Homo-oligomer: A and B are copies of this chain.
């Protein structure tokens, strides 16, 4: 099981919920926990990766992370990422392959992050919404102040993207 060391449950699995299956329409009535599905794009320029800084006024303000955002109801993940990159960076991006999905829990909120390749885009990424941008090497990134959801999954992300 190649991924089992990263996947150990932090909470006891509720076996009552195991009957739900791949279309997942059964409401999560037994749990008040919420999931937030998020898409993130890995933009590379040579051996540098684009990261952005969260606005100070936001949760986890000042931290650096891969660019992305929430999937809105009714969007495909690829459509959501293209929209977010347009809104946040002012670029028209062609979304590539989905490489990896990572989970992280902040208390009773579960974050599911889908990481996509972004190989081509039109325009030069420019910070919107008062955030800053930086191009960093894979080696430098861990020295920056990054969210726990990114740090704990960094080895898997680097492997998936050959960083």
Interface residues of A (CB under 8 A from B): 1-4, 6-11, 13-15, 17-28, 31, 33-40, 52, 54-55, 58-60, 63, 65-80, 82-84, 87-88, 94-95, 98-106, 108-114, 129, 147, 149-150
Contacts and interface: CB of A to CB of B under 8 A. Distances in A.
Q: How many copies, total? A: 2
Contacts of A102: 76-77
13 contacts: A6-B78, A18-B87, A18-B88, A19-B69, A23-B54, A23-B113, A24-B36, A24-B38, A35-B36, A35-B71, A37-B110, A37-B112, A74-B110
Given A20-B36, A25-B111, A33-B73, 8 more contacts: A1-B78, A18-B88, A21-B68, A35-B36, A71-B112, A74-B110, A98-B100, A101-B101
Contacts of A8: 74, 79
| Majority SS at the chain A contact face | mixed
B25 A72 contact: no
A69 B25 contact: no
B101 A67 contact: no
Given A7-B75, A101-B77, A114-B101, A68 B22 contact: yes
A87 B18 CA distance: 8
Given A3-B78, A95-B3, A23 B60 contact: yes
Contacts of A38: 20-24
